[in-house]
Structure 1
Amino acid sequence: MTTPYNLEQIATYKIGNYKNKPTIIFLHDSLGCIELWRDFPEKLSNLTKCNAIVYDRQGYGKSLPFTKDRDVNYLELEADILMQLISLWGVEKPILFGHSDGGSIALIAAAKYPNKIKAIITEGAHIFVEDITLNGINNAIELYKTTNLKSKLKKYHGTKTDTMFWAWAKTWTTKKFKNWNIEHFLPHIECKSLVIQGEDDEYGTLKQVYNTIKATKTPGKKLILPNIKHTPHKENPNLILKETAAFIATI
């Protein structure tokens, strides 16, 4: 496939120089970027002695702005682009760690390219749209309009902030996107998976976890966290580091 932009201009941050060890690739959420992962990738790399790559998808952080409008299948497109990036970076069979949109991208990539992915870790990944998802996005829209959320995001995304935010908010709240569903991909996932979600996730119910675990070819491991919302690696980083490191040790 062809890509709508130059892959070599994607902003990346590489961590570690461990010989004969896997590489963990971090896939940010719908409003995220390299910087918003903070020091979590470095800590997980140090703990597991794995290399790591963090990158900004097009339209985010320090990467290029969007060049076209999104469609319903934009997450599948990002999974295809990820595989081209993996080839460009010369990485063999990485572990994917995806948060929210990044988690959905990890699931699709592992399903479409089962021989190319060693394992996946997801946090708050979506496989379909729920009412709670739309309510969470509508609340974020209200915050974007009435609080300093926009200025906070601008610190990381600069002049791309408005376009980036509305690309997410408008796409997910269209009537067409309400029927978005990637469950048909899941039976093609052969690698090990750790599926993480907070019990109080404001963007999805635990049905997202249960349906994912039930559908994958290799039974996944679930990690459901009480008193945690949509960003487990920020809300309880020590626990997520411990659990993900233990999972990676089994691969």
Structure 2
Amino acid sequence: MRNWNASGRISIGASELEYRSIGPAPEAAPTLVMLHEGLGSAGLWGDVPDRLQAKTGAGVFVYSRAGYGGSSPAALPRSLEYMHREALDVLPKVLGAIGFRRGLLVGHSDGASIAAIYTGGVQDHRIRGLSLIAPHFVVEDISVRSIAAIKATYEQGDLRSKLARWHSDVDSAFYGWNDAWLDPKFRDWDISEYLGYIRVPVQIVQGEHDQYGTARQIEIAEEECYCPVDVTMIAGAGHAPHREAADVTLESISGFVNRILTGHGEGALVDAA
């Protein structure tokens, strides 16, 4: 990428992916690559990338996966292995396209699962750590119930109009995600095997009232990971603590990032306090 502090689209395979980059370029500082949730996009992160950049001094890169935000459409129905494809096929190309040299992956929900699959499936020495917000490693009953309920909200309430602000094809974004998770065969989805191959510190940040997952996800990480697992439960927050309790969540994430970078002799470029 020629221009770093910019927004636009990058070509990844047959897709054009919407992106935004903030702060120093990869050759000048570590980079945080942010992976959005199942209904998210680059824009739906709001000011979280800017605040993390300010708190860590790292460069920050956010992008919308195909079918989300302003990116190219995705073929529907999505494969039930769509997160594996994003992790093992698309993400390596994204990292190559931006000239990624070293840094962390920061993922939310589906994005956290994609980050875990990538780091466990590809031994990439450039990845220094993972910050996972409300990750899924297995499918729980609470996940299926909440995803079924949000379908009714989307079709009968105002969720569709709210999401349309963030997606050029909101129906494709919603049903591509919702239909995959509600497919009965998706109940067998399980990525816990990847956790044992992660060789970098992992942070898990979860709202104590997460309506899409329980503490079982954390227990799985603690059982399967051989690397350190740093857990932060956010009081009063649900599935999106970075929006519902932004200050405490971003303090936790930036603190973890700065400790990891300092441990690699790369330290934060700013005082995170």
TM-score (norm 2): 0.87
Contact kept? 2:12, 2:94, Cα under 8 Å = no
The 1:68–1:173 alpha-carbon spacing in structure 2 relative to 1, beyond 3 Å, is: closer
The answer for the alignment partner of 2:38 in structure 1 is: 30
Supply the RMSD in Å over aligned alpha carbons.
1.5
Report the CA distance between 1:215 and its aligned residue. Answer: 1.2
Q: Which amino acid aligns with 1:136?
A: S
The answer for the alignment partner of 2:110 in structure 1 is: 101
Q: 1:210 pairs with 219, 227, 247, which one? A: 219
Q: 2:62 pairs with 38, 41, 54, which one? A: 54
Residue by residue over 1:137-169, the C-alpha shift from the partner in whole angstroms, topping out at 9 and shown as x without a partner, is: 0110110011111111111112x1111111111
Matched, 1:152 2:162: yes
Report the CA distance between 1:130 and its aligned residue. Answer: 0.6
Q: Equivalents in 1 of 2:241, 2:82: separation in Å?
A: 25
Contact kept? 1:30, 1:102, Cα under 8 Å = yes
Q: Unaligned stretches of 5+ in structure 1? A: none
Q: Equivalents in 1 of 2:24, 2:193: separation in Å?
A: 37
The answer for the alignment partner of 2:21 in structure 1 is: 14
Q: Equivalents in 1 of 2:102, 2:83: separation in Å?
A: 20
Contact kept? 2:195, 2:225, Cα under 8 Å = yes
Matched, 1:199 2:208: yes
Q: Equivalents in 2 of 1:213, 1:45: separation in Å?
A: 28
The answer for the alignment partner of 1:225 in structure 2 is: 234
The answer for the alignment partner of 1:136 in structure 2 is: 146
Aligned length: 247
SS of residue paired to 1:191: coil
1:61-76 correspondence to structure 2 within 5 Å: 61-76=69-84
Runs of 4+ in 1 over 3 A off after TM superposition: none
Q: Equivalents in 2 of 1:102, 1:153: separation in Å?
A: 18
Report the CA distance between 1:70 and its aligned residue. Answer: 1.4
SS of residue paired to 1:11: strand
Report the CA distance between 1:25 and its aligned residue. Answer: 0.6
Q: 2:121 pairs with 107, 112, 134, which one? A: 112
Q: Unaligned stretches of 5+ in structure 2? A: 1-10, 261-273
Q: Equivalents in 2 of 1:60, 1:23: separation in Å?
A: 22
Greater helix proportion = 1
Q: Equivalents in 2 of 1:248, 1:48: separation in Å?
A: 7
> More deviation in 127-136 or 211-220?
211-220
Q: Equivalents in 2 of 1:29, 1:213: separation in Å?
A: 22
Q: Which amino acid aligns with 2:31?
A: T
Report the CA distance between 1:92 and its aligned residue. Answer: 1.3
Q: Equivalents in 1 of 2:112, 2:179: separation in Å?
A: 20
Residue by residue over 1:60-107, the C-alpha shift from the partner in whole angstroms, topping out at 9 and shown as x without a partner, is: 001001134312211011012111110111111331110000000011
Matched, 1:247 2:256: yes
